[in-house]
Every structure is written in C-alpha cells, then in structure tokens.
Amino acid sequence: MGRVWGVAAEFNPFHSGHAALLTAMRRRGASHLVAVMSGHVVQRGDFAVTDKWTRAHCALEHGVDLVLELPLAYACAPARRFGMGAVGLLRATGLVEGLFFGSECGDAGRLRQAARLVESPPVRQGLPEHLSRGLTFAQARQQAVAAVDPLLAELLRTPNNNLAIEYLRAARELDWNPEIFTIPRQGAAHDDPETGGGIASATSLRKLGQDFDAMAPHLPPRCLALYRTAAREGRYPAAPSRLDAAILSALRQLPPERLSTLPDLSEGLENRFAKAIRAAVSLEELQGLLKTKRYTLARVRRLILCAYLGVTRADADSPPPYLRVLGFTGRGEELMREMKHTALLPVDTRLARLRDLGGCCGRFAGLEANCTDLYTLCLPTPRPCGWEYTGKGVFLK
C-alpha cells in the first residue's frame, strides 16, 4: 500500500497554497493522500464559498486520493473539536500513518512541546484566572502558557499553530501515534484581506467573487476551471447574506429551552442570546449584541449557525460515527478496498446508506442533509431539497 498520509482542510476555496502543501506531502514520500474536509459549513462559522463536491474535485485534481467529509458538528466548532473530529476520522481509516499540516512555525518538535505544555497542570490551573479577566479562551491559554514558557507561548499567537497543537492533542487523546510533518505557511497570513503577490489567503480570494481574472494568479489552472464551471452552473460563489433574514426568523421561533442544548454555550450566554434574538432586527446586529471581548465573532457565528442548523451539545459530544467519502481517485479506490478490512467505522460514498444505519449515523446524516438543503438557498441558483442524496461523489480515474 505504501505510505498513507492525512491532512485536515477546508479548501474554502482551494488555492495555490493548498497545492503547495499537497506537493510537499508527495515529496516527503507519501504514496496515498487522505483529506478530511469540511462540508457546506466551515470552522469560522460561515457557509462555504462553493459546494463540497466542487472543493473535493479541486483537491483530487491536485494530489489528494480520498476526500472524507468532516461532519457538521465538528466542522462548525472550535479548534479543539475540529481537530478531534478530523484526527479521529483519519485514525478510523486504519490506514493513515502520517499527519501533515501547515503551520506558521514549521517546526513539529516545538509544536509537540506546546501541545504537551497546554495540558500540563500549571497551565490548566492558571487558565481560570485569565478567563476571569474576560479574555477569550485562546488569549487566556496563551497567558497561562507564557507564565511557564514565554517562547512556546509565542506559538499560540497564530491560528495555524493553534490548530496544529489541537491535532497533536487529539492524536494523543485518541492513543494514535502517526508520523508528524509540518511545513511553514507560505504567502499571505491566515486572514489577510489583500491578495497581493504570491500565495493569497482564502479570505482575500472569497472577497473576489466571480472576478476570475483577479483570482487567476492565485489558483491552479485546473482549479480555476472548476470554479468557472461552478459559476456557470449557479454553484459559485455562495452569498451567505441571502440567508440572513431566514436565520433570524428561525431563531426567533426557537423555544428558550432549545438554546440551552447548544454546544459551546456557557456562563450566562444563554440568557444573553435569548435577549439578543428578540432585540436584533438583522443578523449583523445579532452578532454585534453577542460579541464581547471574551466571545469572538467566530464563536458567535458558530453559535448562531448551530442554533439554525439544529446542532446540539449531544451532537458535539458524540464521536464521528462514519467515514463519508466525497470523492476519490484510482489510488483512493485502492484505499477504499483496504478500508473494508481496516476501517473502525462504516464507510460509504452515499449518505442515504449511512442514514439508514440509524442511531448516531442517522442523526449525523440528517444534520448534513438539512444543512445542504438550507445551504443551497445562498447559491446563485438555489436548488430544491434533497441535493445531499442526489449529488454524486467525485471519481477521477
């Protein structure tokens, strides 16, 4: 089978930086690449710029052999749960032996040190004091780490390093010991709004809409062609603002007890959320009423989307129940044959078959189908319900 390595990604949108990461994985000796990718909702608490099958197709065109979907409850989540879901799925293949990711520092050894330190008693004991000062969790953790090791604390200032640390923590918690490889993030910073020269950030590319001439220097040619096709077919770019009124309307109809079931809701935010829903006349205003020094905009957006899409704390606490395949190549087909014998979870390309397994599989599949039904309403050409069950996975020979 060779060396099977895995990566967690969103590809929102897929760009030259992603292609460079995949190329580096091949150069390091990977024979097969598995990507765990967010579906129609991404970690920042927003809808993806285009459908997951188009994004999976881009990944398959540029080196990935098998694309697995990160379930909604893990995709729309803080870094800790995002990492746990992605790493858990890679481990559950029974084949992935290496974990690869980009980071600002590019030093796997230092990231391992930081991952161990954030779990140490001095940091855990110091965290509540910093949280009590109204800091975000990320800021509080950095301060607690700085009290022990100021140099390692500097790693926690940047988003990719933080996510990398969560991957490493997840692997340890799951008693999985893959090879770890990282390369320095190239080009623009994570949320840099300007495209500039070289590799642009996904944030800046999303802002370009259908200005493909401006996007061209920052996207691999085959990927650019796929986005042009998606645009012609009304699948690119998504405009989440089209759903603002629908989201606010749905939230106004939620019974108060439903809010108490949301994931990542703590310390009185439930009452604040209920009051804000009644007061806000726009989604932007609702976000503004909920955002504080401690509660970041990304956390607020995730909370709102979880409420709208029906994700509960019980969902967030459940381990991923299946391996849902969004696309594969010929080499990916080899992996799928092997996974019949090695996988720790059910594997399928069809969500309907996973739904019919019932239990947690049925619950997670239902969440995914509902999310897609609502997501399509923010596409240039909205679609009827059921796309999750009629949309075909991507197979590249």
What does the pLDDT look like over 14-69, one tens digit per residue? 999 999 999 999 999 999 999 999 999 999 999 999 999 999 999 999 999 999 99
Comparing 34-48, 200-214, 365-379, the range with the smallest average pLDDT is: 200-214
Give the whole-angstrom CA distance, residue 265 versus residue 343.
33
What per-residue confidence (pLDDT) applies to 189? Answer: 53
Is pLDDT above 80 for 321?
Answer: yes
| DSSP helix/strand/coil, 46 | strand
What per-residue confidence (pLDDT) applies to 187? Answer: 56
102 closest CA partner among 163, 177, 166: 163
Is pLDDT above 70 for 197?
Answer: no
Q: What are phi and psi of 207, to 5 degrees?
A: -70, -15
User: Which domains does the chain carry?
Assistant: 4-104+179-238+319-396 (3.40.50.620), 240-315 (no CATH)
What per-residue confidence (pLDDT) applies to 185? Answer: 76
Give the whole-angstrom CA distance, residue 54 versus residue 51.
6
CA dihedral 100, 104, 106, 112 (to 10 degrees): -80
Q: Which residue has the higher pLDDT, 123 or 265?
A: 123
Confidence class for position 198, pLDDT limits 50, 70, 90: low
Is pLDDT above 60 for 188?
Answer: no
First-to-final CA distance of the chain: 18
pTM of the full structure:
0.95
Confidence class for position 159, pLDDT limits 50, 70, 90: very high
Is pLDDT above 60 for 196?
Answer: no
- Return the top range by mean pLDDT from 131-135, 376-380, 391-395: 376-380
Average pLDDT, the chain: 94
Confidence class for position 267, pLDDT limits 50, 70, 90: low
Average pLDDT over residues 221-239: 97
Residues in contact with 57: Cβ distance below 8 Å, sequence separation at least 6, in sequence order = 226, 327, 394, 396
What per-residue confidence (pLDDT) applies to 134? Answer: 85
DSSP-derived secondary structure for 61-104: HTT-SEEEEEPHHHHSS-HHHHHHHHHHHHHHTS---EEEEEES
DSSP 201: P
Burial label for 250, CB within 10 Å (0-12, 13-18, 19+), is middle
